[in-house]
Amino acid sequence: MAFVNENYLKLPGSYLFSEIARRERQFRSENPDCDIIKMGIGDVTKPLSSAVVEAMHQAVDEMSGQKTFRGYGPEQGYEFLIEKIIAHDFTPRGVKLSVDEVFVSDGAKTDTANFQELFGVDTVFAVTDPVYPVYVDSNVMAGRTGLYNQEKGQYDRIVYLPCNVQNGLKPALPDVKVDLIYLCYPNNPTGMTLSKDELKTWVDYARNNRAIILFDAAYEAFIREDGVPHSIFEIEGAREVAVEFRSFSKTAGFTGTRCAYTIVPQEVMVYDSNGQAHSLNKLWLRRQTTKFNGVSYPVQAAAAAVFSEAGQRQIKETIDYYMANAAIIREGLENAGYTVFGGINAPYIWLKTPGQTGSWEFFDKLMREAHVIGTPGAGFGASGEGFFRLTAFNTKENTEKAIERIKTRLS
Ligand code: MLT
């Protein structure tokens, strides 16, 4: 008899975005002619840029030539891509990285979910609340949490750092000692950012407590304001205590193409029960070489083209387009009397639901009355209850239409 990993039984029946898709499917089947506008899952809608597509075509042609064909690539990623990543995304910000500190992968979701494998099961970890559910669920699966407490809407043995209106949606340092901290900035779901000084308090905390920060910077390309750190490695001392996750998904429209990378500096250490230090970089390499055979050559060639002059220009145009949508949502909702956050340095707008309306109640109302799909804040954690997330990843026309419907159709 095969026994189940009982940690899986602690999880809610379905992943947040699967549940949203299920409700949408049901509504569509009951209302087949309905023109639904999707502003739920943060999935891009603009196609890949021409620079990227050309590079991918060329790489596919190479794969068909006897002399240019490539089999397994390096698990960590091709150097031609890693060198471009370092030169474009880090060197100009004063961050020095070596090639063996960058690990190319098929997604930041995969990496943020897998990285916890390197830590002991008794590791105490903290997450902001609300939070991208992958950090929580992957730790639940690994047995690092207790049971789900229905009443609290939280798992036992997770340190939650509430982000609410009172603290400006910025988490306070934990009041108990933690070993591992997940931070995502610009934030999914709230769209908020931390300043360099604010991020420094986290790096200092980690250095003083031998903790490690898993920093998700998947939305870095959407930062518009000066003084907002693009990388945690812009903060002094971060190389000792931080790992950073980056992605081409939202930056360059790769949600369906899949390419991302993770930075693990040589200095970051984890400790065994005898207090002996071990290199996290070496452990991640060990893990990846065992479980992963790298991203396909055409996809890495396409990702490298993001850094060409044309590629940079084209992705900037697309990001500007999405951020113009973010402004339409933000301003439109503010004019309609909603309290809104985010949308300035991120493609997410976090709004307070009217009165005492619950997040899922607002989801259903928005879907049924305005035919707009968003994401209930409660799906990101207990502190998300009473909030709702909209994404800027749609056409300008649909974004305007959605805001108009919210203003005029909601009773
Ligand atoms: C989201 O909507 O939060 C993201 O698209 C999910 C993801 O990137 O996996």
Tokens of 403: 């805001």
Rounded to whole angstroms, the Cα distance separating 248 from 282 reads 24
Least Cα distance to 298 among 105, 74, 61 occurs for 61
pLDDT for 298 equals 98
| Cβ-based neighbour number of residue 162 at 10 Å | 16
Q: What is the residue with the minimal CA distance to atom 5 of ligand 1?
A: 42
Residues 290 and 361 in one domain: no
Q: What is the residue with the minimal CA distance to atom 6 of ligand 1?
A: 42
Which pLDDT band, with edges at 50, 70 and 90, does 217 fall under?
Answer: very high
Residues 210 and 349 in one domain: no
Residues 64 and 190 in one domain: yes
Ligand 1 atom with least separation from CA of 247: 8
3-state secondary structure of 248: coil
The beta-strand segments (E) located in 4-114 are 37-38, 102-105
Overall number of domains in the chain: 2
Residues 175 and 301 in one domain: yes
Which pTM value belongs to this model?
A: 0.97
Least Cα distance to 390 among 255, 188, 248, 183 occurs for 188
Check residue 7 and report its DSSP letter: G
Ligand 1 atom with least separation from CA of 250: 8
Residues 173 and 301 in one domain: yes
Ligand 1 atom with least separation from CA of 218: 8
How far does the centroid of ligand 1 lie from the alpha carbon of residue 15, in Å? 11
How far does the centroid of ligand 1 lie from the alpha carbon of residue 122, in Å? 28
How far does the centroid of ligand 1 lie from the alpha carbon of residue 26, in Å? 21
- Distances from the Cα of 324 to the Cαs of 249, 344, 356, 371, in angstroms? 19, 10, 30, 22
- Give the list of residues 6+ apart from residue 280 with CB closer than 8 angstroms, or none: 118, 212, 243, 264, 268, 269, 270
Rounded to whole angstroms, the Cα distance separating 228 from 141 reads 34
Position 278 in a domain: yes
Residues 386 and 290 in one domain: no
Out of 16, 41, 380, 387, mutate this one to test ligand 1's pocket (max ligand atoms within 8 Å of CB): namely 41
Position 93 in a domain: yes
Out of 45, 111, 132, mutate this one to test ligand 1's pocket (max ligand atoms within 8 Å of CB): namely 132
Q: What is the residue with the minimal CA distance to atom 1 of ligand 1?
A: 42
Q: Is 109 in the pocket of ligand 1 (CB under 6 A)?
A: yes
pLDDT for 16 equals 86
pLDDT for 411 equals 65
pLDDT digits (tens, 9 = 90+) for 252-294: 999 999 999 999 999 999 999 999 999 999 999 999 999 999 9
Rounded to whole angstroms, the Cα distance separating 245 from 285 reads 15
Last residue of a domain, one of 256, 284, 307: 307
Residues 145 and 263 in one domain: yes
Supply angle C-alpha 155, 156, 161, rounded to 5.
70
Residues 26 and 161 in one domain: no
What are residue 162's DSSP bridge partners?
A: 129
Residues 297 and 341 in one domain: no
Phi and psi at residue 133, to the nearest 5°: -60, -20
Position 165 in a domain: yes
Q: Which domain holds residue 375?
A: 14-43+311-409
Last residue of a domain, one of 307, 330, 348: 307
Residues 339 and 239 in one domain: no
Peptide bond before residue 298 is cis, with ω within 30 degrees of 0: no
Rounded to whole angstroms, the Cα distance separating 271 from 118 reads 11
Kindly report the CATH number assigned to the domain that includes residue 114: 3.40.640.10
Query: CB pairs under 8 A, 24+ apart, for 18-25?
Result: 19/379, 20/363, 20/373, 20/375, 20/376, 20/379, 23/363, 23/364, 23/367, 24/367, 24/373
Out of 16, 20, 43, 349, mutate this one to test ligand 1's pocket (max ligand atoms within 8 Å of CB): namely 43
Q: Is 188 in the pocket of ligand 1 (CB under 6 A)?
A: yes
Residues 303 and 315 in one domain: no
Kindly report the CATH number assigned to the domain that includes residue 403: 3.90.1150.10
For the chain, how big is the Rg over CA atoms in Å?
21
Position 252 in a domain: yes
How far does the centroid of ligand 1 lie from the alpha carbon of residue 250, in Å? 9
Rounded to whole angstroms, the Cα distance separating 85 from 104 reads 10
pLDDT(12) > 90: no
Position 9 in a domain: no
- Distances from the Cα of 91 to the Cαs of 118, 224, 308, in angstroms? 28, 19, 16
Which whole number is the average pLDDT over 330-353?
Answer: 97
Which whole number is the average pLDDT over 146-152?
Answer: 93
Q: What is the residue with the minimal CA distance to atom 9 of ligand 1?
A: 109
CB burial of 352-380 (b: ≥16 within 10 Å; e: otherwise) equals bbeeeeebbebbebbbeebbbbbbbbbbb
| Cβ-based neighbour number of residue 87 at 10 Å | 12
Phi and psi at residue 29, to the nearest 5°: -65, -30
Residues 150 and 35 in one domain: no
Q: Is 327 in the pocket of ligand 1 (CB under 6 A)?
A: no
Which whole number is the average pLDDT over 63-73?
Answer: 96
pLDDT digits (tens, 9 = 90+) for 296-308: 999 999 999 999 9
Position 3 in a domain: no
Position 357 in a domain: yes
Last residue of a domain, one of 261, 279, 307: 307
Which whole number is the average pLDDT over 156-170?
Answer: 97
Which whole number is the average pLDDT over 86-91?
Answer: 98
Position 2 in a domain: no
Which whole number is the average pLDDT over 368-376?
Answer: 96
Provide DSSP, 127-178. Answer: EEES--HHHHHHHHHTT-S--EETTTTEETT-EEEE--TTTTT-PPPPSS--
How far does the centroid of ligand 1 lie from the alpha carbon of residue 16, in Å? 10
Say if CB 246 and CB 220 are below 8 A apart: yes
Q: What is the residue with the minimal CA distance to atom 4 of ligand 1?
A: 42
Q: Is 200 in the pocket of ligand 1 (CB under 6 A)?
A: no
Phi and psi at residue 36, to the nearest 5°: -95, 135
pLDDT digits (tens, 9 = 90+) for 182-208: 999 999 999 999 999 999 999 999 999
Checking DSSP bridges between strand 375-376 and strand 387-391, what pairing results, if any? antiparallel
How far does the centroid of ligand 1 lie from the alpha carbon of residue 108, in Å? 10
